[in-house]
Each structure stands twice: as C-alpha cells, then as structure tokens.
C-alpha cells in the first residue's frame, strides 16, 4: 500500500537544482543567460511560454516564432550547491553567479537577448 504521507515527506526533502541556465539560438548564435532557484521549472516555463507565444522576452519569442523550436537549446551552465544552514537565502548567491556568467559571455545587443539594466 502506498503511504502518501511518506511520499509527500520525501518530495519536500528533495533538493531542487538551483543555478544559471542558457538559451541558445542555433541560427544566429544569440543567447540568453538566466538564474533560478528551480532550474527545471524555470526552463520548462520558458519552453511553455515560447511554444504558446507568451514568452516575456519579446525578441526571443520573435526569433522562436520565425525559426522554430528545433533551432533553440536549453542548458544548465552552473549549479549552486545547497548550504547546510537552514533558511539560507540564495538570492545573493545566484545574483553573483549570474553576474559572473554575464560578464564572461556578454549576451547583449547582437550577441544575446539580455539587456543592460
């Protein structure tokens, strides 16, 4: 018999991968760099948004509409390892890690979909 309480407890204890991801346009080489506390969920959200025309990054959506799903890849660039301290806020850690990748890859203007804010 399935113990739903035990399954729920195990699910809550499962670590969700955090880190930095990249979306690449294989035709023109443009990239988008992003961060998330839930990489799988965030990448799936981009894929869903692109597929159904509701992606927040309008230029990325335009290229996706013109070039098709097969011309885009999604990959994780870097994982952020969980700390032992309960309740640690990972936002600053992710911001720093993302900044390093932004500086390294410079995904702006004709090289990417990120914007300089």
DSSP secondary structure letters along 82-110: PPSSTT---HHHHHHHHHHHHHHH--BGG
- Which phi and psi (to 5°) does residue 22 adopt? -135, 135
> Domain 18-80+88-111: which topology?
GIY-YIG endonuclease (3.40.1440)
Q: How many CB atoms lie within 10 A of CB 80?
A: 19
Alpha-carbon gap, residue 102 to 2, rounded angstroms: 46
Model confidence at 14: pLDDT above 70: no
> pTM of the predicted model, to two decimals?
0.86
Q: Render pLDDT for 62-79 as a digit per residue (tens, 0 to 9).
A: 999 999 999 999 999 999
Q: Which of 4-8, 48-52, 55-59, 96-100 has the lowest mean pLDDT?
A: 4-8
pLDDT value for 86 = 79
57 SS3 class: coil
């Amino acid at each position: 018999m399935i113990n739903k309480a035990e399954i729920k407890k195990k699910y809550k204890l499962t670590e969700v991968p955090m880190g930095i991801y990249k979306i690449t346009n294989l035709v023109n080489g443009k990239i988008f760099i992003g961060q998330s506390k839930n990489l799988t969920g965030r990448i799936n959200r981009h894929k869903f948004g692109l597929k159904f025309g509701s992606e927040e990054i309008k230029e990325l959506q335009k290229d996706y509409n013109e070039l098709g799903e097969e011309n885009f890849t999604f990959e994780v660039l870097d994982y952020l390892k969980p700390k032992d301290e309960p309740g640690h806020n990972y936002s600053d850690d992710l911001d720093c890690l993302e900044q390093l990748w932004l500086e390294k890859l410079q995904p702006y203007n004709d090289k990417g979909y990120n914007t300089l804010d």
